[in-house]
Amino acid sequence: DIVNDFKVSMATDEIARLEGIDVPGYQVEEQLEAVRNEASQSGEEFDEAQIKSRIEATLQRQLVMDFLAENSELQIEFTNEHEFNEELMEELAQSTIKAAEERTPEVIDAVVEEPEAAVEPEAAEEPEAESVAEPVAEPVAEKVEEEAAPEPVAEPAAEKEEEPEPEAVEEKEEEVDFASMTLEEKAYYSLKNAGALDK
């Protein structure tokens, strides 16, 4: 933030003053020339004095940091409220892992339940196939009954064969009666039986 930047700027300026660290003029001119070229290409105007002071401050800070890195042993201590808390970061990492593990079984259950739901319609279709198959067997049974039905046709043939029996009985009766008839009656029935009287 602004306060920290101000503190760093004050500290680097003081270290640069104490250690006699100065920014070479040619480095400032190189950076300033690069800014001029960018401004001319974009057509923007800028305050050269203000930009030059910022370039000097930035380069001076870099030189001070390089000096400290080479000539001092620094031990960083976080003293502000935004300091790095290793324990807090560990707790956050553990809670994140735990939350991910809790969500994983739900995802697996959802994936397993989807195929089961997809199988249910197939199971529901099976009874329909059975119900369709059942009526098919009935016409077959009817055909078998129809094929078996012609058997009684033989009965009329038996009746036809049995029909002559009464005639035979009558003939026998007529023969019996014929023996007891007179000659005229015998002649009459003989002509009748021969079909002469029907003509």
Task: Spell out the alpha helix ranges (H) of the chain.
Answer: 2-19, 25-42, 48-71, 86-148, 154-162, 164-180, 183-194
- Assess whether pLDDT exceeds 60 at residue 170: no
d(CA 131, CA 115): 26
Between 161 and 5, residue with greater pLDDT: 5
The distance of Cα 144 from the centroid of its chain, to the nearest Å, equals 49
Q: Please, which pLDDT band fits residue 135 given cuts at 50, 70 and 90?
A: very low
d(CA 150, CA 69): 118
- Assess whether pLDDT exceeds 50 at residue 157: no
Most confident of 15-24, 127-136, 176-185: 15-24
Residues 45 and 39 sit within 8 Å (Cβ to Cβ): yes
pTM exceeds 0.85, yes or no: no
- Predicted pLDDT of residue 5: 78
Task: Work out the average pLDDT over 19-27.
Answer: 85
Q: Counting beta carbons within 10 angstroms of the beta carbon of residue 12, is it exposed (0 to 12), middle (13 to 18) or buried (19 or more)?
A: buried
Mean pLDDT of the chain: 66
- Assess whether pLDDT exceeds 60 at residue 189: yes
d(CA 31, CA 25): 10
- The domain spans of the chain are 2-71, 85-149, 155-194
67: closest CA among 17, 116, 137, 117? 17
